Amino acid sequence: MEPTIPAVNLRLQFESVREEIDASIRQVLERQSFILGPEVQELEQAVARAQDCSHAVGCASGSDALLLSLMALGIGPGDPVLVPAFTFFSTASSVVRAGATPVFVDIDPRTFHISPEAVRQALASHNAAKPVRAVIPVHLYGQCADMDALSEMAKQYDLHMIEDAAQAILARYGRRAAGSLGDCGCFSFYPTKNLGGAGDGGMITTQDASLAERLRALRDHGSVKNGSVKKYTHACLGINSRLDTLQAAVLIVKLRHLEEWTELRRKKASFYRAAFSDTGLSHPSAAYPTREAPVVLPYVAPDAGHVYHQFTVRAYRRDELARHLATKGIESAVYYPIPLHLQEAFSYLRVQPGSCPESERAAGEVLSLPLYPEITAEQQSRVVEEIKRFYSS
């Protein structure tokens, strides 16, 4: 049975821009320029402006954005890279694909972001033959990580900083934009993202012109088009990771509406906060859910420009609550149920359970509630009422 309140509703957004998208796609079809057509460059320039960056390079996915960034920065076999233990799989798998070694670091329980104190401890205790080369903070759920503290340590230890901003387009850290704070910013255009395409797609932002040039070569088999290298001549070993022109055509249209949609997300998040405040289910100072205060609302860091890719709460008896909501036609989601250091794919690293306790606890408590620009106040009220009913029983 289809949920009456889905976690994400892509169709509603599409219907609002259908004619614009149809026209944009039609232009590409008429021109038949499917690979690195003019829409790709137009989108790159628009995303660079939106994220306060000098350059943006389109690629095939957010995962490839991470991999290409690592490759362009010369991070490879055996190089240790610090990554949060609580995030999507590709943050760490991209490190492995580059030949490097992920070093899992615990999170701040309030923000779910990589903990600067845990990073500091990891750097101080690291005694491997190779020094740590990079750190990948993830701007999880639409809010930037603690970039001031991380940037200070990156400078102290001579680390590259790659921002995983897959969930944070238009997010800001004080006056600065996500993706402009490190060597590279990596964005995803997976359909459910705040700026989502009609398939996979990604983008890398940077302030460094030479780095952007390397990224453009690496995404296209190491070939430099319109540059000093002739066609079918390859300066380096790259991969095939070009952003499709059809995807760029869809994304250009949606980007025009993104600020409006983002503001609606913030308003819907405020509605949830106000609705929950009337239930007595949450306590403003609580870090973890309890029987007495079973819901912990999302924490917003000072000066954060949160874009609410997800409205993620901590919930007491999370799995039972999710099942109750499902029986009422309300879809929810768990991002993410298994921390990375406990994933079977990384078992060869021999990281023991209990080594990242905050990540492990978060995996058992987080629940993302339905939130998107088109969700109605009536639907949100139903979500809150059903959560209250569950805990009242």
Q: What is the pLDDT of residues 60-101, one digit of tens each?
A: 999 999 999 999 999 999 999 999 999 999 999 999 999 999
Between 234 and 299, the higher pLDDT residue: 299
How far is the first Cα of the chain from the last one, in angstroms, to the nearest whole number? 25
What are the phi and psi torsion angles at 203 (to 5°)?
A: -155, 145
Domain 258-392 adopts which CATH fold? Answer: Aspartate Aminotransferase, domain 1 (3.90.1150)
Give yes or no for residue 284 having a pLDDT over 70: yes
- Judged by DSSP in three states, 98 sits in coil
Quick one: pLDDT at residue 3?
Answer: 85
User: Is 229 a residue whose pLDDT tops 70?
Assistant: no
Predicted confidence (pLDDT) at residue 297 exceeds the cutoff of 60: yes
Q: Which of 34-48, 78-92, 107-121, 230-244 has the lowest mean pLDDT?
A: 230-244
Q: What is the structure's pLDDT at 231?
A: 77
3-state secondary structure of 14: helix
Domain chopping of the chain, boundaries: 10-252, 258-392
Distance of alpha carbon 166 from alpha carbon 86, whole angstroms: 14
The pLDDT, as a whole number, for residue 291 is 95
Residues 295 and 289: beta-carbon distance below 8 Å = yes
Residue 71 has what pLDDT?
Answer: 98
Mean pLDDT of all residues belonging to the chain? 96
Per-residue pLDDT at 295: 98
Average pLDDT over residues 318-347: 98
- Extract the tokens encoding 292: 């007495």
Average pLDDT over residues 108-126: 96
Confidence of residue 185 (pLDDT cuts 50, 70, 90): very high
Extended beta strands in the chain, E state: 55-59, 80-84, 101-105, 134-135, 160-164, 172-173, 176-177, 184-188, 202-206, 295-296, 304-305, 311-315, 366-369
Report pLDDT for 285. 84
Confidence label for 343 from pLDDT (cuts 50, 70 and 90): very high
pLDDT for 225 beyond 90: no
Which of 235, 242, 190 is closest to 68 using CA atoms?
242
**Residue 230 or 186, more confident:** 186
Q: Do 10-252 and 258-392 have matching folds?
A: no
Cα separations (Å) of 4 from 326, 328, 382, 387? 10, 8, 11, 16
**pTM of the prediction?**
0.96
Residue 128 has pLDDT above 80, yes or no: no
Residue 23 has pLDDT above 70, yes or no: yes
Pairing between β-strand 184-188 and β-strand 176-177 as defined by DSSP bridges: unpaired
Class of domain 10-252: alpha beta
In the predicted structure, residue 137 carries a pLDDT above the cut 60: yes
Tell me what pLDDT residue 1 has.
59
- Which whole number is the average pLDDT over 108-131? 94
Single-letter amino acid code for the residue at 152: E
Share of the chain above pLDDT 90, in %: 92
Say how far apart CA 388 and CA 393 lie, in whole Å.
9
